[in-house]
Amino acid sequence: MDWGTELWDQFEVLERHTQWGLDLLDRYVKFVKERTEVEQAYAKQLRSLVKKYLPKRPAKDDPESKFSQQQSFVQILQEVNDFAGQRELVAENLSVRVCLELAKYSQEMKHERKMHFQEGRRAQQQLESGFKQLENSKRKFERDCREAEKAAQTAERLDQDINATKADVEKAKQQAHLRSHMAEESKNEYAAQLQRFNRDQAHFYFSQMPQIFDKLQDMDERRATHLGAGYGLLSEAELQVVPIIAKCLEGMKVAADAVDAKNDSQVLIELHKSGFARPGDVEFEDFSQPMNRVPSDSSLGTPSDGRPELRGPGRSRAKRWPFSKKNKTVVTEDFSHLPPEQQRKRLQQQLEERSRELQKEVDQREALKKMKDVYEKTPQMGDPASLEPRITETLNNIERLKLEVQKYEAWLAEAESRVLSNRGDSLGRHTRPPDPPASAPPDSSNSNNSRSQDNKESSEEPLSEEGQDAPIYTEFDEDFEEEPASPIGHCVAIYHFEGSSEGTISMAEGEDLSLMEEDKGDGWTRVRRKQGGEGYVPTSYLRVTLN
């Protein structure tokens, strides 16, 4: 079925329908254009959102980047950014393949439709013109027939009138004959015009207009097919990015699964572990009688010169960590302003960086030497003397970096020893006996000499104001007085201890002991039993009271 056969008389209907089809095509193009604007705005907002929440500092300078939670969040932001890129790709495909192509096709369809309807209107005008000519010839034939009949009647009346002259009768007969001849010619012209019009009308309705309508039908069907393909491009543009978007979503899921709470807890420990020993019990200070205490590394409020510090109601001991108010930190090159564990890590990082720089300079020196040898063997390639300044600079850099490596190695060794010495952490009271210190007890035979030497060295260095205000957990290089002959305090064994290693002594739970030497930071305290015998026991196994 075609329009030329079934809709031969629906010229206006076809005109409205084809115009509606082109309007629909334009509406769809406008819809897709606004859709691309929405996609572009969506992608832009997503990118702005990602930029807003991305870390501002580089990962190597941001401690938070070490946590799996932060890493997963950054990965999700990157996946969202990739997702925004796919939305931009959808907008680009729709703009190029739908908006531009369909808009161009719509213009072509409008031009083609205009040509077809112009042709149809010309055919209609020609048919209408033929019909007007037919009507004119018909009316002329009709008029001539009436005039011929009237002239014949006049001639016959005059012929019967006895009063009419012969000349009048002849004249009337000639007029009637002329009118009859004119009517015959009008009849022939009308018949010819009618035949011509019928032929044109048949051609118009059975050939000319059906062809035009068929062309319009073909045009409209091509437009509908193209529009349907444009509908498909809308979904095709989405389907093209579905695999990438699926990967983005899968990446978000992987990032969510990568959050490791236990590992983050360990990372927090590694980042902020100070390495300090925990503070011991607060000692009872009896203000009812003058204080007489021997200075030691665990004594608080005792000046370095050994004189007791009297504390009245107006003076109180400085608050201990974590309640102490931190002083302003002065950054030092050896990171001594940091806690021991953090100092060790920073020194390790600096040492690794200097080692890499040193290796780079060494490799550069070797490359310059090889280049110099090539220049010496082949002078036309270059002047060997031109490399001397660079070689000298490289050698100076190597010497400088070697000194820095040695300096950081020394600081690192000192920091590691400090960390190890602080691991004898006093845990106070326990429901079960704590583990004895991992390090061996000091050699009692050399203890006096070593303490005297330490006292001599430390007494030569004045205490800084910062050192006096340091909290109890800070490691001190305090001075030690010569060990007195009498005990410096007494202590009670909280747990039973079997002294099986060299330098240790056994004690029973609840046993009273004499305190001969305080813990020097290694976790061991030297005591004397009442029944005789002197040696080291774990500090965490004692409740100490100084004289």
Lowest mean pLDDT among 143-152, 366-375, 393-402, 456-465: 456-465
What CATH code is carried by the domain that includes residue 496?
Answer: 2.30.30.40
Nearest CA to 272 among 333, 330, 322? 322
Q: Does residue 56 share a domain with residue 136?
A: yes
CB count within 10 Å of CB 296 equals 19
Single residue among 421, 442, 467 that ends a domain in this structure: 421
Residue 291 forms part of a structural domain: no
Residue 328 forms part of a structural domain: no
pLDDT winner (highest mean) among 20-24, 281-285, 459-463: 20-24
Q: What integer pLDDT is reported at residue 517 of this predicted model?
A: 87
Q: Does residue 406 share a domain with residue 258?
A: no
pLDDT tens for each residue of 284-301: 887 876 544 444 444 444
β-bridge mates for residue 490, sequence order: 514, 545
* Alpha-carbon gap, residue 344 to 413, rounded angstroms: 9
Residue 169 has pLDDT above 70, yes or no: yes
Q: What integer pLDDT is reported at residue 342 of this predicted model?
A: 80
Residue 324 forms part of a structural domain: no
Residue 433 — very low, low, confident or very high, per pLDDT cuts 50/70/90?
low
pLDDT winner (highest mean) among 65-79, 153-167, 383-397: 65-79
513 within 8 A of 536, measured Cβ to Cβ: no
What is the pLDDT averaged over residues 164-186?
88
Single residue among 371, 400, 421 that ends a domain in this structure: 421
Residues 6 or more apart whose Cβ sits within 8 Å of residue 445: none
Q: Does residue 346 share a domain with residue 258?
A: no
Q: Does residue 103 share a domain with residue 231?
A: yes
Q: Does residue 494 share a domain with residue 416?
A: no
Note down the domain range covering 353: 340-421
> How far from chain centre, in Å, is Cα 201?
74
Residue 471 forms part of a structural domain: no
Q: What integer pLDDT is reported at residue 334 of this predicted model?
A: 80
Identify the residue with better confidence: 68 or 476.
Answer: 68
> How far from chain centre, in Å, is Cα 204?
70
What CATH code is carried by the domain that includes residue 200?
Answer: 1.20.1270.60
Q: Does residue 186 share a domain with residue 96?
A: yes
Q: Taking the model in full, what pTM does it have?
A: 0.54
Q: Does residue 218 share a domain with residue 357?
A: no
Evaluate the omega torsion of the peptide bond into residue 441 and state whether it is cis, within 30 degrees of 0. Answer: no
Count: domains in the chain: 3
Residue 243 forms part of a structural domain: yes
* Alpha-carbon gap, residue 3 to 10, rounded angstroms: 9
Residue 45 — very low, low, confident or very high, per pLDDT cuts 50/70/90?
very high
Q: Does residue 519 share a domain with residue 411?
A: no
E-assigned strand segments in 181-244: none
Residue 170 forms part of a structural domain: yes
Residue 9 forms part of a structural domain: yes
Q: Does residue 497 share a domain with residue 376?
A: no
Tally of residues, the chain? 547
Lowest mean pLDDT among 32-41, 221-230, 414-423, 444-453: 444-453
Q: Does residue 417 share a domain with residue 501?
A: no
* Alpha-carbon gap, residue 541 to 492, rounded angstroms: 9
Residue 432 forms part of a structural domain: no
Helix H or strand E encompassing 528: strand 524-529
pLDDT tens for each residue of 234-283: 999 999 999 999 999 999 999 999 999 999 998 898 888 877 777 778 88
Nearest CA to 238 among 106, 112, 93, 133? 93
Tell me how far CA of residue 189 lies from CA of 152, 194, 196, 201, 335, in angstroms: 22, 8, 10, 18, 123
298-336 burial by CB neighbour count: b if 16+ within 10 A, else e?
bbebbeeeeeeeeeeeeeeeeeeeeeeeeeeeeeeebbe
Q: What integer pLDDT is reported at residue 341 of this predicted model?
A: 78
Residue 483 has pLDDT above 90, yes or no: no
Q: Does residue 108 share a domain with residue 205?
A: yes
Identify the DSSP state of 536.
Answer: E
Single residue among 368, 387, 421 that ends a domain in this structure: 421
Q: What integer pLDDT is reported at residue 428 of this predicted model?
A: 40
Q: Does residue 231 share a domain with residue 120?
A: yes
